[in-house]
Amino acid sequence: MNQEALVEEAKKAREFSYSPYSHFRVGAALLCADGSVYTGCNIENAAFSPTNCAERTAVFKAVSEGKKEFVKIAVVGDDKTYLSPCGVCRQVLMEFVDPMEFEVIMAGDSDSIKVVKLAELLPESFSPMNLKNHVKKDIF
Ligand code: THU
């Protein structure tokens, strides 16, 4: 799926945003290596901290259905200018992807789109590789 189509999927997912507190709707669309796409929206909560961002909703949906190989994600905020993913979502993505390869397509309601590799958004990161000599489970 190309960049524009993935952004469109993220925009569709944004329609489902549950954001009664911020009124800031966010949508995301995650492309898996097998070609499948998982979408997500932000889901807010009256207690505030349980709020889940759109990107994490998409990742958690995918992982919970057995997908762990991802190619790129599109994220669309509620603004003309593009939305840059929060730090928590950057870290969650880092768990599953090669940051030098994985693309983050940041979009908004104008044509302003910015495409970067995850490594640019989270340099000097802490990742599963840092634990490779310490974990018993074979995740590498
Ligand atoms: N939000 C996202 O869904 N993704 C981001 O990367 C940034 C922030 C959501 C969380 C909250 O529901 C609203 O935007 C305002 O912060």
DSSP letter string over 14-52?
Answer: HTT-B-TTT----EEEEEETTS-EEEEE-B--TTSTT-B
Q: Answer whether residue 136 shows pLDDT above 80.
A: no
- The pair of structure tokens assigned to 131 is 């634990």
The answer, yes or no, to whether any atom of ligand 1 lies below 6 A from the CB of 84, is: no
The answer, yes or no, to whether any atom of ligand 1 lies below 6 A from the CB of 42, is: yes
Average model confidence (pLDDT) for the chain? 95
The residue to which tokens 């994220």 are assigned? 75
| Residue of the CA atom closest to atom 10 of ligand 1 | 53
Asked whether the beta carbons of 28 and 55 are under 8 A apart, the reply is yes
The answer, yes or no, to whether any atom of ligand 1 lies below 6 A from the CB of 54, is: yes
42: CA distance to ligand 1 center in Å?
Answer: 6
Query: How far is it between the farthest Cα atoms of the chain?
Result: 47
pLDDT tens-place string over residues 6-22: 999 999 999 999 999 99
Active-site residue identified among 9, 15, 44, 55: 55
Query: The whole model's pTM is what?
Result: 0.95
DSSP 8-state assignment for residue 77: -
The answer, yes or no, to whether any atom of ligand 1 lies below 6 A from the CB of 86, is: yes
The residue to which tokens 């207690």 are assigned? 47
Report the amino acid identity of residue 56.
R
Q: Which atom belonging to ligand 1 lies closest to the Cα atom of 53? A: 3
Active site residue 55: yes
Nearest 5°: phi and psi at 41?
Answer: -130, 165
pLDDT tens-place string over residues 27-70: 999 999 999 999 999 999 999 999 999 999 999 999 999 999 99
